[in-house]
Amino acid sequence: MWRAALIVALAQPLCAVDYLKMPSGKTVTVLDSQAAQREITAARTSPNVVEIYDVMAGVLIGQHQHAVQHPIGQVSQSPIGQSLYNESGDEIALIVGLERKKSHKVLPFTYLRVSYYGESVPSGMMLFNEKGEVVAFQYVRHDQHETQAYAVPVQAVERAHQDFVTNNFISRCWVGMIVSSSGTVPEIASIRPNSPASKAGLKKGDILAKVGDYTITSYHEAVNAFYYLVAGQTETFEVFRDGELITVELVPVPKNSL
């Protein structure tokens, strides 16, 4: 179940391995859900440092004395086959797949399935590209393969941080449209009256082509792109309507404000 954000006070050091310092001076790190719940439970009894926790990305935002600022890169929309490295520059893993579903439920964004050459690294460890840029965080191990795990793209970490810096909270966005999950193309199945989508001029039957920097060819790609919207920040939507490519600007609103 989605819980947009939880304010907690941490009395103990986080059990993740790495802490990434963002340009704002805030620290971000990633924990798996079980580790995060342990930290939240401990925090309730002895408050110290206030943090914000994004449940879906496993991201904690706050301050940490051991945070290091690294350059941040991006994982492409087709990252399969990309090598991953540790902080020392050693090649340790390969992106072998994309995870869009779990237990037949569509995930809020696409996780990376990573195969390690040795043992899987601990949750929270930063993963780098060959340029030394952070592109992902180790999240949780694969249920069946000891050397495989799921990683959170650094874009999801940046999205949580950007939302917090902009709005002082973390929330999923609402645009007021439903995209068909049964068709072969990402067709808009309905538009809510007076919604951001309606105000932007989008219509039922439009075919999504692009949301911001994300090219859309399927329902799952649409879900992934919607995750990266930040409330109050204008984003460009491109749609096909009667064979014509139309571009509109849309301002999403926080889902928990409805």
Q: What is the mean pLDDT of residues 226-231?
A: 93
Residue 122 domain flag: yes
Residues 178 and 145 both lie in one domain: no
Could you tell me the residue range of the domain that residue 245 belongs to? 173-257
Please choose, from the candidates 58, 61, 196, 62, the residue with its C-alpha nearest in 3D space to the C-alpha of residue 136: 58
Residues 139 and 179 both lie in one domain: no
Q: What is the DSSP string of 92-135?
A: EEEEEEEEEEETTEEEEEEEEEEEESSSPPPTT-EEE-TTS-EE
pLDDT of the residue at 40: 63
Residue 220 domain flag: yes
Calculate the alpha carbon distances from 26 to 112, 162, 187, 214, 227 in Å.
Answer: 25, 11, 39, 26, 21
* Distance of alpha carbon 104 from alpha carbon 219, whole angstroms: 14
Count up the domains in the chain and report the number: 3
Token pair in block for residue 35: 């580790």
Q: What is the pTM of this model?
A: 0.84
Is the CB of residue 53 less than 8 Å from the CB of residue 6? yes
pLDDT of the residue at 13: 42
Residues 65 and 112 both lie in one domain: no
Residues 247 and 217 both lie in one domain: yes
Residue 125 domain flag: yes
Residue 78 domain flag: no
Residues 21 and 95 both lie in one domain: no
Q: Which of 123, 154, 185 is the last residue of a domain?
A: 154
pLDDT of the residue at 256: 65
Is the pLDDT at 1 greater than 70, yes or no? no
Residues 135 and 178 both lie in one domain: no
Residues 181 and 209 both lie in one domain: yes
What is the percent of the chain with per-residue pLDDT over 70, rounded to a whole number?
84
Q: What is the mean pLDDT of residues 215-238?
A: 94
Q: What are the φ and ψ backbone dihedral angles of 179, each rounded to 5 degrees?
A: -100, 135
Q: What is the mean pLDDT of residues 94-117?
A: 90
What is the percent of the chain with per-residue pLDDT over 90, rounded to a whole number?
54
pLDDT of the residue at 171: 81
Is the pLDDT at 164 greater than 50, yes or no? yes
pLDDT of the residue at 191: 97
Q: Is the dihedral of CA 196, 200, 205, 207 positive or negative?
A: negative
Residue 104 domain flag: yes
| Higher local confidence (pLDDT), 34 or 72 | 72
pLDDT in tens, 35-77: 766 766 665 665 555 566 777 778 888 888 888 999 999 887 7
